[in-house]
């Protein structure tokens, strides 16, 4: 409990420090998960869940739809998501920590769409599961190697991990897959790793990966990237190791065609994987 309070205090300090600082963009969307609350969208994309489906998604993952109070508690320690989702009792809304023109009508707080009479409307979901297994994190180092949880052992079932990478403004991020083995199925519906050229898992979708073929390198367009790893309730595999390094476009050779054609995906290019 004390640890949690300390963590809250820490995160609260962090929220006060958001903005542009030391040449690094401190963004508000890093904390995808806070105080047991997390945001879920349908595997098929944004705003595809009816109330019954949203409820089922959270229950499938061992929790339930978050109440307004739970979402507000999470928001108070930095949970900021620009996507409306179902909460308990058929309410719809989303948590805004940092006011912005594009989201939340320039206000902070829970943007509340109220209790919906039509439960067939489609939104995302806010789940509450204080016992959910956490993994991932926020990384600001100039290089790092991510490992799937438990690596070199197999990863577990029912994991949701987010790795957010944020390097200095103006730099780019190069991802290099060192090992990769994730339960294989044709559309990667069971277990998958998703990569976003963005600081959240809403914008900048790059690709969804599963199976045991090593994906090509990926280079971001900006100074942020998000990796999301989701596993279902059965069948695990070896997992992955992914190295990221920082490219400084101002330095000759960096961010250019340093590797052989076809081996590196420069973003804003095209991706065959979905």
Ligand X SMILES: *[C@@H]1O[C@H](CO)[C@@H](O)[C@H](O)[C@H]1NC(C)=O
Closer to ligand X by CB, 153 or 257: give it.
Answer: 257
Q: Which residues, 167 to 186, sit near Ca ion by CB under 5 A? A: 183
Q: Indicate if the alpha-carbon torsion angle 250, 251, 252, 256 is positive or negative.
A: negative
Q: Which option in Ca ion, ligand X, none does residue 256 bind, with CB closer than 5 to 8 A by kind? A: ligand X
Closer to ligand X by CB, 158 or 216: give it.
Answer: 216
Beta strand residue intervals within 37-119, DSSP E: 37-40, 64-65, 85-86, 91-96, 109-115
Residues that bind ligand X (CB under 6 A): 118, 120-121, 256-257, 261
Q: Which option in Ca ion, ligand X, none does residue 121 bind, with CB closer than 5 to 8 A by kind? A: ligand X
Q: How far apart are the first and last CA of the chain?
A: 41
Q: Which option in ligand X, Ca ion, none does residue 198 bind, with CB closer than 5 to 8 A by kind? A: none
Those residues with Cβ within 8 angstroms of residue 173's Cβ, 6 or more apart along the chain or in another chain:
165, 167, 219, 220, 223, 224, 225, 244, 245, 246, 247
Those residues with Cβ within 8 angstroms of residue 267's Cβ, 6 or more apart along the chain or in another chain:
197, 204, 206, 218, 219, 220, 221
61 binds Ca ion (CB under 5 A): no
Instruction: Please work out the total of residues on this chain that contact Ca ion, with binding judged by CB under 5 A.
Output: 6
187 binds Ca ion (CB under 5 A): no
Stretch that binds Ca ion, among 64-72, 111-119, 227-235, 258-266 (CB under 5 A): 227-235
Q: Which option in ligand X, Ca ion, none does residue 261 bind, with CB closer than 5 to 8 A by kind? A: ligand X
């Amino acid at each position: 409990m004390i640890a949690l309070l300390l963590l809250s205090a820490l995160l609260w300090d962090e929220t006060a420090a958001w903005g542009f600082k030391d040449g690094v963009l401190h963004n508000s969307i890093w904390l995808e998960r806070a105080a047991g609350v997390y945001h879920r969208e349908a595997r098929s994309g944004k705003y595809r869940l009816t109330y019954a489906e949203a409820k089922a998604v959270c229950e499938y993952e061992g929790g339930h739809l978050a109440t307004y109070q739970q979402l507000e508690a999470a928001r108070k320690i930095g949970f900021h998501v620009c996507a409306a989702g179902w909460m308990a009792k058929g309410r719809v809304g989303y948590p805004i920590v940092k006011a912005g023109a594009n989201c939340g009508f320039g206000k902070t707080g829970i943007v509340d769409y109220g209790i919906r009479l039509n439960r067939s409307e489609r939104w995302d979901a806010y789940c509450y599961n204080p016992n959910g297994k956490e993994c991932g994190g926020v990384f600001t180092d100039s290089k790092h190697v991510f490992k799937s949880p438990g690596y070199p052992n197999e990863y577990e079932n029912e994991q949701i991990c987010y790795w957010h990478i944020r390097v200095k403004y103006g730099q780019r991020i190069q991802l290099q897959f060192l090992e990769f083995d994730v339960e294989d199925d044709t559309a990667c519906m069971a277990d998958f790793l998703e990569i976003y050229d963005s600081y959240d898992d809403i914008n900048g979708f790059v690709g969804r990966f599963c199976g045991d073929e090593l994906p090509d390198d990926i280079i971001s367009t900006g100074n942020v990237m998000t990796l999301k790893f989701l596993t279902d309730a059965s069948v695990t595999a070896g997992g992955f190791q992914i190295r990221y390094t920082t490219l400084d476009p101002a330095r000759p050779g960096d961010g250019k065609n340093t590797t052989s054609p076809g081996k590196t995906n420069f973003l804003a290019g095209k991706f065959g994987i979905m």
